[in-house]
Structure 1
Amino acid sequence: MYCPAAFRQDDLASLHAQIHACGLALLSSAGEQGLQASHLPLLLEPGEGEFGTLYGHFARANPHWRDLADGAETLAVFSGPDAYVHPGWYSAKAEHGKVVPTWNYISVHAWGQAEVFDEPERLLELVSRLSERHEQGRPQPWAVSDAPREYLDTMLRAIVGFAMPIRRLEGKWKLSQNRSTADQAGVRNGLAASANPRERELLAHMPLSD
């Protein structure tokens, strides 16, 4: 990922927090079948390995998992909030007009090679933990154990799990850090006035002026 120094995020806790906040990741790899990408919910175990380990599963019918089984290098992309930056938000627009639009965003990229598994009990543990994470806080949380075991066994035979120790981790917080404090204030004001909730979400990550 192209990442100028002003936008680089190296704090491991912040990188892990963004991974955890991202409900759906983009997992890509290149193998004998060419370049493939799958959208998957992933689970991070932060204490496993130098940068943590990612867990997830594919539908068995999805050929993508075979690339991982063959040892292909894999990239997981975790996208955060993003927003178009209107040039009129910059104070520099009124001063000299030398401004152009851009896009602010947060993203984390994780690289590694995965171990593929299909043992039923290990898969059951994985899907149980994924469900617990996403059901947390709901009025009537659903649990894997709510489904009949024979049905679960059928569903488990239809998926393939994987564990991917993260070998390299990069974060990019592109939040107008390369602009003047006045321009940054203008971007914050523009985002605050936006009707788009994703743009307002990005506002919470914008740096504050000194």
Structure 2
Amino acid sequence: MYVPSHFAVPADRQAELLGRGGFAHLVTPTAEGLVSTPLPLLYDPGRPGRGALLGHVARNNPHWRDLPDTESLAIVTGPDAYVSPGYYATKREHGRVVPTWNYEVLHVHGRLVAHDDVAWLRDLVTRLTDTHEAGRAAPWGVTDAPERFIDGQLRAIVGLELVISRVEAKAKLSQNRSAADQDGVLAGLAASGLPGEAAVAAAMRAVHPGG
């Protein structure tokens, strides 16, 4: 991934973004070509090296079979939003502005390992569930469902562990614009009311503390 220096994400911010978890696209090269599966992944920093991303797929999904020795890639997308040239203060000064897109994205590379073990899977789905149910008024837990039902569900899936070798992280959040233009983008995103734009504004404030 092309990452200009002003859009690079420092290591501590990378860990924070990975720790949020969420939806990703897992891409693996195979003899038949690239295979991609969209799925939620959980970051486990406790694994050796740079940690791992953990998830699961349906047993009928061929993604977990005959895994190659080459690296797989997890594309973890953060918030994104269209940025209108009308947001910029410089539009009113000289008009030499064009539309763009603000976003955060992580490309996580590593070796993919399959786990066809009920105990491993039970631990994973419990951790995934607890992560995404946290903060709800009445959080659901895996043990809320009948044990035999959960056992059947676990037999229908296979775990995947992406052992992380390197992370490419890009946060394109108007860092290359003037302070006045950044303020204009923040104001424009706040005023638009479109879905997801509040999350982009929050990400911008994380890299522009004075915004």
Structure 1 residues 85 and 3, CA, compared in 2 at 3 Å: closer, same or farther? same
- Count residues with an aligned counterpart: 208
Question: Percent identity, aligned pairs only?
Answer: 48
Cα drift, residue 55 of structure 1: 0.9
Aligned to 1:195: 193
In the alignment, structure 1 residue 45 sits paired with structure 2 residue 44: yes
Aligned to 2:112: 114
Task: Confirm or deny: 8 A CA contact 1:10 1:170 kept in the other structure.
Answer: no
Report the AA paired with residue 151 of structure 1. Answer: F
Matches within 5 A, 1:30-179: 30-66=29-65, 69-179=67-177
RMSD, aligned α-carbons: 1.7
Q: Show CA shifts across 1:102-134 (max 9, x none).
A: 001111111001211111111111111111111
Task: Confirm or deny: 8 A CA contact 1:185 1:209 kept in the other structure.
Answer: no
Task: Confirm or deny: 8 A CA contact 2:22 2:42 kept in the other structure.
Answer: no
Greater shift, 40-49 or 18-27, is seen at 18-27
Aligned to 1:205: 203
Aligned to 1:5: 5
Greater shift, 15-24 or 81-90, is seen at 15-24
Q: Show CA shifts across 1:50-73 (max 9, x none).
A: 322111111011111125x33342
Structure 1: stretches of 5+ with no match in the other structure: none
TM-score under structure 2 normalisation?
0.91
Q: Show CA shifts across 1:35-91 (max 9, x none).
A: 121111111111323322111111011111125x33342111111111111011112
TM-score under structure 1 normalisation?
0.91
Structure 1 residues 71 and 159, CA, compared in 2 at 3 Å: closer, same or farther? farther
Report the AA paired with residue 17 of structure 1. Answer: E
Distance 1:18 1:143 in 2: 25
Structure 2: stretches of 5+ with no match in the other structure: none
Report the AA paired with residue 97 of structure 1. Answer: G
Task: Confirm or deny: 8 A CA contact 1:49 1:166 kept in the other structure.
Answer: no
Q: Aligned with 2:108: secondary structure?
A: strand
Distance 2:181 2:137 in 1: 43
